[in-house]
């Protein structure tokens, strides 16, 4: 069953999170998957395992405690956020397989720009020269996934200095602009989506 790809633009974090929860709670075996592509205004999010000491100095940026795995991360303008709302049971995907598929799609896209990137099993996400360019945090409930990945495109990276990203003290982050790629968030979404579908072994109807 082909997933529906949705570009939501820039949307507030909390209503989007609630919408993901509602979609996941109300879906059944016949519900088509959806993949949401979007940006958020500035916000720090704390996963279920987050230690408060990793939030160093939030200042005027809102902090939201949420129900994904992982520690603390930052979302803001210029970052592509992707929420794969998938029936992972139907797709035959385990959590680790899903994480690897998301990482693989980003690594493949970066390779198309001649950027060598790697994933780290012990610290999910995608890294270029040791700097994190994409973060992953998921929740599986009722056999379905929500939350997802955050891919730094062209953003103010300063807020990452106010946290220990993903719980790692001193972890450096980067974005596509810093790596020499000039593209909008929506352009990156358009380039990533077919790679994401291929990596997840899903197909999209073209009409």
Catalytic residues: 166
Residue 81 annotated as binding site = no
Residues in a beta bridge with 64: 45
Residue 150 annotated as binding site = yes
Question: Rounded to whole angstroms, how far apart are CA atoms 119 and 157?
Answer: 20
Residue 69 annotated as binding site = yes
E-assigned strand segments in the chain: 4-10, 34-39, 43-46, 63-65, 72-75, 79-85, 118-119, 125-128, 131-141, 144-152
Segment (H or E) for 25:
helix 13-26
Residue 148 annotated as binding site = yes
Residue 201 annotated as binding site = no
Residue 168 annotated as binding site = no
The string of DSSP letters for 80-110 reads EEEEEE-BHHHHT--HHHHHHHHHHHHHHHH
Residue 149 annotated as binding site = yes
Residue 135 annotated as binding site = yes
Q: Which residues contact 30 (CB under 8 A, 6 or more apart)?
A: none
Residues in a beta bridge with 34: 4, 85
- The tokens describing 46, both together, are 């704390």
Residue 136 annotated as binding site = yes
C-alpha closest to that of 13 among 147, 105, 117, 193: 147
Residue 72 annotated as binding site = yes
Give the residue ranges of the annotated binding site for substrate: 68-75, 135-137, 148-150
Residues annotated in a binding site: 68-75, 135-137, 148-150
């Amino acid at each position: 069953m082909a997933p529906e790809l949705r570009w939501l633009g820039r949307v507030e974090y909390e209503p989007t999170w609630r919408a993901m929860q509602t979609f996941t709670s109300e879906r059944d075996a016949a519900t088509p998957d959806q993949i949401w592509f979007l940006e958020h205004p500035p916000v720090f999010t704390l996963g279920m395992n987050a230690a408060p000491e990793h939030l160093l100095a939030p200042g005027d940026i809102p902090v939201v405690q949420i129900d994904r795995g992982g520690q603390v991360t930052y979302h803001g303008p210029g970052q592509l956020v992707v929420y794969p709302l998938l029936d992972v049971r139907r797709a035959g995907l385990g959590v680790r397989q899903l994480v690897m598929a998301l990482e693989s799609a980003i690594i493949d896209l970066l390779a198309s720009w001649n950027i060598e990137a790697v994933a780290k099993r012990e610290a999910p996400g995608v890294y270029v020269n040791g700097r994190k360019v994409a973060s992953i945090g998921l929740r599986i409930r009722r056999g379905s996934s929500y939350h997802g990945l955050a891919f730094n495109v062209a953003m103010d990276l300063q807020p990452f200095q106010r946290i220990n990203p993903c719980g790692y003290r001193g972890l450096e982050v980067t974005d596509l602009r810093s790596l020499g790629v000039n593209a909008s968030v929506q352009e990156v979404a358009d380039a990533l989506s077919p790679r994401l579908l291929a990596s997840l072994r899903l197909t999209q109807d073209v009409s």
